[in-house]
């Protein structure tokens, strides 16, 4: 079997149910629909950690958070090999562009032969920002949208569509395809910041969906009982804990869909170039995201949760001759499966021994004995640990000292926690034993106490409603010196 090129398109904060061909009746995603028709959709894919940095650390290393030590938006270890190291060693021309979030080692190549760096928290050397300056847009202070108080307030982009970051990612991808070394197979990772908030789209994409057309969020009776401490804390620090504004929520959902449709269009441009160059069927195309977004469901926003809205992600693979066209695989998958799949396609050794991921071809063909995937966010007293099988999803919230169990077949929208019900207690106990046993076998005993979960002192929340609110004015310190006398702000503390 000839080794394929590999195109990996990765979005940020895109939930699993945002593809028209997979059942969303509102969103327009003709390119992703095409990938579904010509490839296989893994419809039960979960992130190993529902937050940006730890999800990406696990993705590139193939290792779960309890092995890497990166379980939140925390520093990634610099000494772990990546699957890009393996592909490069196997002769692939590896190129990455866009948001990688290799915190704090932003400029480290991580196995890429070349990279074009662009991040939300941009600094000197950010090539997207330099591109804006070269095109006369140096005055735009927030090129990815205004954050902080405006984080979940939809807003028009300050950039035209041709200069928006999503289009920039596609343009740089096309440039790479034009100039690549044709004597070698390539690995191209196109990493897009959106639909991560702020929800800002360029015209006319900001008008594609209107609030009045959007369905309301799903808030089942007693939905507050499905929250964890992390849900409550995140709602607060993202400015969404002061009651429900139905019109704002519908505007948020419309803007979120607009960002995904704009991504879909740009992905279509990349695929069209592969097709025009005769390389489409020689290329393994993978599309996925690092985690989801609650988007107002359960009256929650953001990620950091193992409810499907935050933890379940799209995963599409087009690989002619290896994966069925129009295929659907419902077996639990994980982003950890991408490293072994890419390495197997490249005939490359894996980045480490004993990786928990599997070749997705085996999963789709039913040749995989694994029947459970796991996840983790945070550690010690703030942690959540999860396990998913075809039938059950179980997770434990350490700060709440509470279990959650959902029957994925009878309750696909996760409306009822069965962990403490007469009909669910036995299944919850069995899933708890499987997950704690897995960690015990891995030698990760920090969250364990005998056969169960260790209890930690509960976190303390102050009653001040302005405590720990999100401030991310990442463009640098605002210069108020040009304001007239009497209007300057004192320096930030």
pLDDT digits (tens, 9 = 90+) for 283-317: 999 999 999 999 999 999 999 999 999 999 999 99
The helix or strand, by DSSP H or E, that contains position 49, with its residue range, turns out to be none
Region 243-269 average pLDDT? 97
Q: What is the mean pLDDT of residues 88-107?
A: 94
Residue 449 has pLDDT above 90, yes or no: yes
Q: What is the arithmetic mean of pLDDT over 19-44?
A: 98
Q: Quick check: 260 pLDDT over 90?
A: yes
pLDDT(489) > 80: no
pLDDT at 492: 60
User: What's the whole-number mean pLDDT along residues 262-279?
Assistant: 98
Q: Give residue 491's pLDDT.
A: 64
In angstroms, what CA-CA distances link 92 with 121, 171, 243, 349?
Answer: 30, 21, 51, 13
Number of neighbours of residue 152 by Cβ within 10 angstroms:
23
pLDDT of residue 351 exceeding 90: yes
Instruction: Give the chain's mean pLDDT.
Output: 95
Burial (Cβ within 10 Å: 0-12, 13-18, ≥19) of residue 434? middle
Half-sphere exposure (CA, 13 Å, Cβ side) for 202?
16
pLDDT tens by residue, 210-232: 999 999 999 999 999 999 999 99
Tokens (6 digits) for 199:
């929800």
Q: What are phi and psi of 346, to 5 degrees?
A: -90, 0
Q: What is the pLDDT of residue 108?
A: 87
Which pLDDT score, from 0 to 100, does residue 474 have? 63
Q: Please give the Cα distance from 37 to 464 (Å, whole number).
A: 51
Distance CA 479, CA 490 (A): 11
Q: What is the pLDDT of residue 407?
A: 98
Q: Is the pLDDT of residue 471 over 90?
A: no
What's the whole-number mean pLDDT along residues 187-197? 98
Distance of CA 367 to the CA centre of its chain: 27
Q: Where residue 475 falls among pLDDT bands split at 50, 70, 90? A: low
Please state the rounded mean pLDDT for residues 180-201: 97
Residue range 325-354: mean pLDDT, rounded = 97
| pLDDT interval class at 477 (50, 70, 90) | low
Compute the average pLDDT of residues 419-430: 97
pTM here is 0.96
For residues 112 and 479, the model is more confident at: 112
Percent of the chain with pLDDT over 90: 86
Contact of 122 with 106, CB cutoff 8 Å: no
What domains does the chain contain, in order, with CATH numbers?
5-371 (3.40.720.10)
N-to-C CA span, the chain: 61
pLDDT in tens, 426-440: 999 999 999 999 999
Report pLDDT digits (tens) over 385-413: 999 999 999 999 999 999 999 999 999 99
State yes or no: pLDDT of 250 exceeds 70.
Answer: yes
Is-contact 258 209, C-beta < 8 A? yes
In this prediction, residues 198-212 reach a mean pLDDT of 97
pLDDT (average), residues 361-379: 97
Of 252, 367, 228, the closest CA to residue 306 belongs to: 228
Judge whether residue 242 has pLDDT over 70.
yes
Residue with tokens 């390539």: 186
Mean pLDDT of 60-76: 96
pLDDT in tens, 113-150: 999 999 988 888 899 999 999 999 999 989 999 998 99
pLDDT for 472? 80
2 CB-contact burial (10 Å; exposed 0-12 / middle 13-18 / buried 19+):
exposed
CA gap 45, 41 in Å, rounded:
9
Average pLDDT over residues 195-219: 96
CA–CA separation, 311 and 334 (whole Å): 10
Q: Residue 342: pLDDT band by 50, 70, 90 thresholds?
A: very high
């Amino acid at each position: 079997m000839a080794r394929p090129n590999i195109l990996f398109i990765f979005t940020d904060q895109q939930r699993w149910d945002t593809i028209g061909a997979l059942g969303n009746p509102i969103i327009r995603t003709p390119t992703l629909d095409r990938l579904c028709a010509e490839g296989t959709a893994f419809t039960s894919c979960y992130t190993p950690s529902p937050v940006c940095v730890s999800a990406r650390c696990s993705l590139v290393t193939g290792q779960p958070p309890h092995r890497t030590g990166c379980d939140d938006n925390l520093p990634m270890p610099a000494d772990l090999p990546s699957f890009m190291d393996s592909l490069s060693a196997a002769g692939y021309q590896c190129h990455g562009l866009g948001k990688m979030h290799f915190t704090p080692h932003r400029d480290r190549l991580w196995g890429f032969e070349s990279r074009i760096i662009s991040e939300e928290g941009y600094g000197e050397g950010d090539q997207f920002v330099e591109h804006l300056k070269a095109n006369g847009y140096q005055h735009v202070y927030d090129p990815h949208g205004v954050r902080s108080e405006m984080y979940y307030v939809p807003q028009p982009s300050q950039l035209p569509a041709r200069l928006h970051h999503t289009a920039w990612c596609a343009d740089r991808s096309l440039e790479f395809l034009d100039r690549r070394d044709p004597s070698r197979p390539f690995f191209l990772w196109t990493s897009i910041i959106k639909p991560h908030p702020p929800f800002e789209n360029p015209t006319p994409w900001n008008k594609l969906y209107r609030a009045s057309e959007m369905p309301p969020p799903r808030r089942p009776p007693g939905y507050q009982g499905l929250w964890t401490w992390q849900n409550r804390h995140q709602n607060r620090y993202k400015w969404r804990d002061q009651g429900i504004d139905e019109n704002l929520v519908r505007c948020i959902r419309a803007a979120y869909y607009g960002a995904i449709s704009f991504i879909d269009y740009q992905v279509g441009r990349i695929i069209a170039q592969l097709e025009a160059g005769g390389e489409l069927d020689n290329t393994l195309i993978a599309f996925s995201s690092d985690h989801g977004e609650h988007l107002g469901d359960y009256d929650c926003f953001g990620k950091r949760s193992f409810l499907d809205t935050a933890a379940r992600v799209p995963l599409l693979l087009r690989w002619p001759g290896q994966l069925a066209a129009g295929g659907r695989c419902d077996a639990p998958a994980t982003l950890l499966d991408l490293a072994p799949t890419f390495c197997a396609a490249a005939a490359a050794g894996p980045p480490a021994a004993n990786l928990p991921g599997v070749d997705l071809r085996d999963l789709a063909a039913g040749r995989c004995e694994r029947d459970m995937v796991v996840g983790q966010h945070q550690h010690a007293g703030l942690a959540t640990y999860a396990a998913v099988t075809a039938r059950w999803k179980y997770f434990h919230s350490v700060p709440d000292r509470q279990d959650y169990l959902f029957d994925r077949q009878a309750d696909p929208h996760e409306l009822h926690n069965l962990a403490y019900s007469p009909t669910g207690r036995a299944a919850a106990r069995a899933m708890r034993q499987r997950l704690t046993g897995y960690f015990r076998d891995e030698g990760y005993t920090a969250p364990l106490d005998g056969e169960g979960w260790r209890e930690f002192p509960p976190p303390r929340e102050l009653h001040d409603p302005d405590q720990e609110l999100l401030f991310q004015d990442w463009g640098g310190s605002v210069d108020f010196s040009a304001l007239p006398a009497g209007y300057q702000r004192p320096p930030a503390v």
